[in-house]
Structure 1
Amino acid sequence: MAPEQAWPTSGDGRIPLGRFCRVTAGPSGSLLDNLQEGPNGVPVIAPPDLTEHFTVDTRRLRRVSHPQAERLARFELRAGDVLLVRQGTLGRLALVKDEQAGWLYSSSCLRIRVDQSLVLPAYLAAYLTHPPVQRELIAQAQSGTVPSLNSTMLTEFPVEVPPMDRQHDVVAALADIDEQITVQRMMLDRLVALRPSVFEQLTKGE
């Protein structure tokens, strides 16, 4: 049954996110008071580890011991989870990949676990990073010294959910664009690296 047939919608036809997702805030800071650097232990993803390209930067991850991670098993990540910053750089997110399954996440993040029979995680990630949607989401943040989102707020956030075949089309089209962006960035990086040597060769007449 299509989502729009199964669930009541808002006046504009959008569906509350909580109808097809479970939203879980990260463990409290007191449960992660033994974070450590180095290669040993289970990684804990924090807001600075989420990139503007919706991925996880693994270079500066901190970790907890395996016994501590076992006690925090309810906060484990699975492939397809969407991790959203709730404090700090609001709205930044990442789509969890297979290699990050079993990792944990900090108290400053929300884990969105999608019912993948109804919504594609990649579609939801794309929807939540669409600029007008980002502005709407951030506008609902609780004001204060550090603006924040919470699980209740996110559960009630309205989402446009097209049929599954349309979601696949959206994800495929955006993947093609992202691939072209990656190629263009690589070309730009090479040109930037080449520029100083060209300058030296031309000024020295080589």
Structure 2
Amino acid sequence: MSTDNKVPEIRSKGFSGEWAEEILGDVAEIKTGPFGSTLHAKAYVEDGHAIITTEHFKSGELPVDKKNIPQVSEDDYLRLKAYLLKVGDIVFSRVGSVDINALVTNKQEGWLFSGRVLRVRSGKIIDSEYLHHELSTSRVKKSVVSRAVGQTMPSINTEILKITPIHFPLDTTEQTTIGNYFQKIDALINQHQQKHDNLSNIKKAMLEKMFPKQGETIPEIRFKGFSGEWKNLTLGDLGSVAMNKRIFKHQTTISGEIPFFKIGTFGKQADAFISKNLFDEYKAKYPYPVAGDLLLSASGSIGRVVEYKGEEQYFQDSNIVWLKHDGKIDNAFLKVFYSMVKWSGLEGSTIQRLYNKNILDTEISTPERQEQTAIGNYFQKLDNLINQHQQQITKLNNIKQACLSKMFV
């Protein structure tokens, strides 16, 4: 952005000239929802007209149906018609995440908004889709947050929001072009999010159906060609818990040859290292995972699982453990089990701890090895698809944030 000229760094072809600067209250109508004296929660009904409040758009998106949304009766709806939402309206939270806004689409047209919400309705000189994204830029967000009141729970009102500075091209065609561009990005993000959520729901349902229920030995759904009862065992029947020898802080460096993972960097990027000599010495003397072993967090975020790929790296003693089972169970199947197991006997009030006995005493139901592999591979493919969509969501969100910073003044 050029601060002097008030033009964006990146601009669509064919547009030029400086952008206008106004305060939000001069280009849009801002209205607060009905306060408690006007509408009480006890007046909500099971099947009526939806009314949104702050928790419904913390992600910047509004729900697309009224399921799990507070609803009011026909009489209250008619009485509160001044608080109806129209397509193109923008809603802000009055309390909490005061810098988040969401755009009303035809999915929410005719819904009401609560007293914890501020409605922004753009005037003729500014496109609502454009305004929604202008209000989502880091510059505007910082401006709103900086003027919020309250230490524990930030809050804003119509007067605070009215004086928010905004920038926009006077040519409404340029506004529409920008708005349409971001609308397409949002549509792609939503598509990947829906596929991600659908696959996650499929995974959850199949976890319940492809493993025997408590007290049973045969699952509800099974791959063709497999039969017979599953065996009820404990993890201790399959192997023993292993861990690396403890590494002390004075043995690590901030850079070096072999990455050293503590519980906080487990599954992420190492922030400490040990020497190759120390690594070779400890690897020869003490337990060390083999490629395919599942490393398990035993402290703090209990049950976080990372598959060891065979790299030269070292892990923090008893906080990161694995089941040394010498091939008695398929690791892909074991990973699925880890994702659904509820560890019992955890100790510790502030930071919980999973001890070896907790792990070894954990019950597991297993089929024959070929069926284990088939189940493990099925969920591995599901996880890969879920991760692919999550990566696309992350990538598109990064593109969106970069464009928000360069396509607006």
Aligned to 1:27: 34
Helix, strand or coil: the match of 2:38? helix
Aligned to 2:145: 138
Aligned to 1:174: 182
Instruction: Work out whether residues 24 and 151 of structure 1, in 8 Å CA contact, stay in contact via their aligned partners in 2.
Output: yes
TM-score (norm: length of structure 2): 0.43
Q: C-alpha separation between the residues in 2 aligned to 1:61 and 1:189?
A: 20
Larger Rg: 2
What code does the residue aligned with 1:85 have? S
After TM superposition, give the deviation of residue 186 of structure 1 in Å: 4.8
What code does the residue aligned with 1:204 have? Q
Matched, 1:204 2:372: yes
What code does the residue aligned with 2:83 have? F
Deviation digits for residues 92-124 of structure 1, max 9, x if unmatched? 222112242222111111011111x31111111
Q: C-alpha separation between the residues in 2 aligned to 1:43 and 1:190?
A: 25
What code does the residue aligned with 1:45 have? I
Identity of aligned residues (%): 24
Aligned to 1:74: 82
Matched, 1:44 2:51: yes
Helix, strand or coil: the match of 1:30? coil
Aligned to 1:157: 164
What code does the residue aligned with 2:121 have? R
Matched, 1:121 2:148: no
Stretch moving more, 180-189 or 106-115: 180-189
Q: C-alpha separation between the residues in 2 aligned to 1:190 and 1:159?
A: 38
Instruction: Work out whether residues 32 and 118 of structure 2, in 8 Å CA contact, stay in contact via their aligned partners in 1.
Output: yes
Instruction: Work out whether residues 94 and 156 of structure 2, in 8 Å CA contact, stay in contact via their aligned partners in 1.
Output: yes
After TM superposition, give the deviation of residue 143 of structure 1 in Å: 2.4
Q: C-alpha separation between the residues in 2 aligned to 1:202 and 1:137?
A: 59
After TM superposition, give the deviation of residue 28 of structure 1 in Å: 0.9
Which of 8, 12, 15 lines up with 2:22 in the alignment? Answer: 15
Q: C-alpha separation between the residues in 2 aligned to 1:171 and 1:135?
A: 21
C-alpha root-mean-square deviation of aligned residues, in Å? 2.8
Distance 1:187 1:78, change over 3 A: closer
Q: C-alpha separation between the residues in 2 aligned to 1:148 and 1:94?
A: 17
Helix, strand or coil: the match of 2:168? coil
Instruction: Work out whether residues 143 and 164 of structure 2, in 8 Å CA contact, stay in contact via their aligned partners in 1.
Output: no
What code does the residue aligned with 2:332 have? F
Q: C-alpha separation between the residues in 2 aligned to 1:185 and 1:102?
A: 26
Matched, 1:107 2:115: yes
Distance 1:190 1:44, change over 3 A: closer
Instruction: Work out whether residues 49 and 73 of structure 2, in 8 Å CA contact, stay in contact via their aligned partners in 1.
Output: yes
Matched, 1:59 2:97: no
> What count of residue pairs does the alignment treat as equivalent?
193
Deviation digits for residues 27-77 of structure 1, max 9, x if unmatched? 1112111432422x2211111111414223633211121112222221121
Instruction: Work out whether residues 18 and 156 of structure 1, in 8 Å CA contact, stay in contact via their aligned partners in 2.
Output: yes
What code does the residue aligned with 1:27 have? P
Runs of 5+ unmatched residues, structure 2: 1-18, 211-330, 334-368, 375-409
Helix, strand or coil: the match of 2:125? coil
What code does the residue aligned with 1:108 have? R
After TM superposition, give the deviation of residue 16 of structure 1 in Å: 0.9
What code does the residue aligned with 1:125 have? H
Distance 1:110 1:155, change over 3 A: same
TM-score (norm: length of structure 1): 0.80
